[in-house]
Amino acid sequence: MPENTMVESTRENIVTRLFKALRLPLNDPFAVFGLAVYAVFLLTAVFADQIAPYDPTEILYTPDYDLAADLRPGEQGHVLGTTSLGRDVFSQIVHGTRSALLIGVTAAFMVALIGSIVGLVSGYFGGWVDAVLMRLADIAFGIPFLPFVIVLAAFLEPSIWNVVLAMALVLWRDTGRVIRSQVLTLRSRGYVDAARVSGSSDFKIILRHIAPNILPLSFLYGSIAIGWAILTEASISFLGFGDPSSISWGYMLQDAFASQALAKQSYYWFVPPGLCIILVVSAGFFITRGYENILFPKLGR
């Protein structure tokens, strides 16, 4: 038993240490607002089945057995009305949080992970490894991102994972470069030299002495990437290269656009998904800004 509790306590230690290392910006009201928005969307995504009154893809009928198409908000108890196919807009919005958060978080994780590894390896080892990785970053900067995702869609099955794949292939470049320059300054610090002299392996030095210091930066770029991923997924779905079987906000906008919602003035259909995207993405921006104020207090504006 004592062994067990020790494991437990060190594990908890790691969790709290990690939490501290993330240095959440809790003193900035906008950042707190952003975190609150994230929390609400996270809860909505988890409990989507309980919150949404209908299945988002279910075609609904009125009590007189007519297609419940193009109902205005409030009609027949539909909070935000229905689509031209008779689907409940509110339920689609609620279920859209799932794909938005899923894609946002996985893409951000990939971008932060790949960018951090490239930055760490490149900055720490230098030499030809650095040269090769930075030339790769140059190439990634030369690839127009959205067109690249579209071209990928020409070869791959339509799926939201194309966006994650494309982000992992291209968008690590910014994170990688910034973290590399940070590692370059960390590498020459005294405690790193001390660790090296006392015989620590490169792997151990990177993991124990350098990586913890760049964690906030990774998180910063990760939170920028969440917004990018959601916006990109929306664009891709809007252009018709998304996954037709999963309901996302971008898909809703494409559906509305293709069904003449603009001419029909069905604002209740195409305004809410856009507002949701803006809310989540700007929440990410506000968190990012709070971070920047902590990480680079000199900018303090």
Instruction: Tell me which of 138, 204, 212, 244 binds other proteins, using CB under 8 A.
Output: 138
What values do phi and psi take at 82, rounded to 5?
Answer: -130, 165
- Is residue 148 near other proteins by the rule CB under 8 A? yes
- Is residue 40 near other proteins by the rule CB under 8 A? no
Nearest alpha-carbon partner for 291 in 51, 112, 72, 107: 112
- Is residue 247 near other proteins by the rule CB under 8 A? no
Q: How far is the CB of 218 from other proteins (least distance, A)?
A: 22
- Three-state secondary structure readout of the chain: CHHHHHHHHHHHHHHHHHHHHHCCCCCCHHHHHHHHHHHHHHHHHHCHHHHCCCCCCCCCECCCCCECCCCCCCHHHCCCCECCCCCEHHHHHHHHHHHHHHHHHHHHHHHHHHHHHHHHHHHHHCHHHHHHHHHHHHHHHHCCHHHHHHHHHHHCCCCCHHHHHHHHHHCHHHHHHHHHHHHHHHHCCHHHHHHHHCCCCHHHHHHHHHHHHHHHHHHHHHHHHHHHHHHHHHHHHHCCCCCCCCCCHHHHHHHHHHCCCCCCCCHHHHHHHHHHHHHHHHHHHHHHHHHHHHHCCCCCC
- Is residue 258 near other proteins by the rule CB under 8 A? no
- Is residue 30 near other proteins by the rule CB under 8 A? yes
* Whether the Cβ atoms of residue 224 and residue 172 lie closer than 8 Å to each other: no
- Is residue 251 near other proteins by the rule CB under 8 A? no
Q: How far is the CB of 301 from other proteins (least distance, A)?
A: 6
- Is residue 39 near other proteins by the rule CB under 8 A? no
Pattern of binders to other proteins over 51-90, x per CB under 8 A? ----------------------------------------
Instruction: Tell me which of 22, 159, 240, 294 binds other proteins, using CB under 8 A.
Output: 240
Q: How far is the CB of 216 from other proteins (least distance, A)?
A: 20
Instruction: Tell me which of 60, 153, 179, 247 binds other proteins, using CB under 8 A.
Output: 153
- Is residue 36 near other proteins by the rule CB under 8 A? no
- Is residue 161 near other proteins by the rule CB under 8 A? no
Residue whose CB is less far from other proteins, 60 or 179: 179
- Is residue 301 near other proteins by the rule CB under 8 A? yes
Q: How far is the CB of 292 from other proteins (least distance, A)?
A: 12
Instruction: Tell me which of 166, 286, 290, 291 binds other proteins, using CB under 8 A.
Output: 286
Residue whose CB is less far from other proteins, 14 or 278: 278
- Is residue 145 near other proteins by the rule CB under 8 A? yes
User: Cβ-count burial of 73 within 10 angstroms (0-12 exposed, 13-18 middle, 19+ buried)?
Assistant: middle
Tell me which residues touch other proteins (CB under 8 A).
Answer: 30, 135, 138-139, 141-148, 150-151, 153-155, 227, 231, 234-235, 238-241, 250, 253, 256-257, 261-263, 265, 267, 270-271, 273-274, 277-278, 281-282, 284-286, 289, 299, 301
